[in-house]
């Protein structure tokens, strides 16, 4: 998707602070961190949201969930962390390329407001 912000980040057309990369997964630091550790993990190929996950692309998502604990360990999140994906308007999804937030490094609030 040529007009997608995270596709451009994956392609290196927009700079990012890379945390992890393999054939199908890219992870980088959120530009507006909500916690001491705030990382976004995305599939390299464009999937608009969690609502677009199918049997055809779910291997990329499974891979993301293999990578998340590795990143958490490297970031020192030994006391826990939160993984969030916002899907659609009610969830305030602002970038329409599926991404998983990893949040940690402090005690996170126990309600979503
Ligand atoms: P969401 O609201 O779930 O769609 O999250 C989008 C996230 O992308 C927000 O936390 C933003 O701070 C983050 N973001 C937007 N632009 C960039 C960028 N250029 N580099 C890194 N993170 C970004
Ligand atoms: Zn995209």
pLDDT digits (tens, 9 = 90+) for 51-83: 999 999 999 999 999 999 999 999 999 999 999
Structural tokens at position 22: 């393999």
Helix (H), strand (E) counts: the chain: 2, 5
Ligand 1 near 48 CB (within 6 A): no
**Chain centroid to CA 29: how far?**
9
Q: Are 104 and 81 in contact (CB under 8 A)?
A: yes
Ligand 1 near 92 CB (within 6 A): yes
Among protein residues, the one with the nearest Cα to ligand 1's atom 16 is 31
pTM exceeds 0.85, yes or no: yes
Q: Are 99 and 85 in contact (CB under 8 A)?
A: yes
Q: Are 59 and 75 in contact (CB under 8 A)?
A: no
């Amino acid at each position: 998707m040529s007009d997608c912000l995270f596709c451009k980040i994956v392609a290196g057309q927009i700079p990012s602070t890379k945390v992890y990369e393999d054939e199908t997964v890219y992870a980088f630091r959120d530009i507006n961190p909500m916690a001491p550790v705030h990382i976004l993990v995305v599939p390299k190929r464009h999937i608009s949201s969690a609502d677009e996950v199918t049997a055809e692309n779910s291997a990329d998502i499974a891979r993301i969930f293999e990578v998340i604990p590795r990143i958490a360990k490297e970031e020192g999140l030994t006391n826990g962390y939160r993984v969030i994906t916002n899907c659609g308007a009610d969830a305030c999804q602002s970038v329409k390329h599926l991404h998983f937030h990893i949040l940690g490094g402090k005690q996170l609030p126990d309600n979503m407001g």
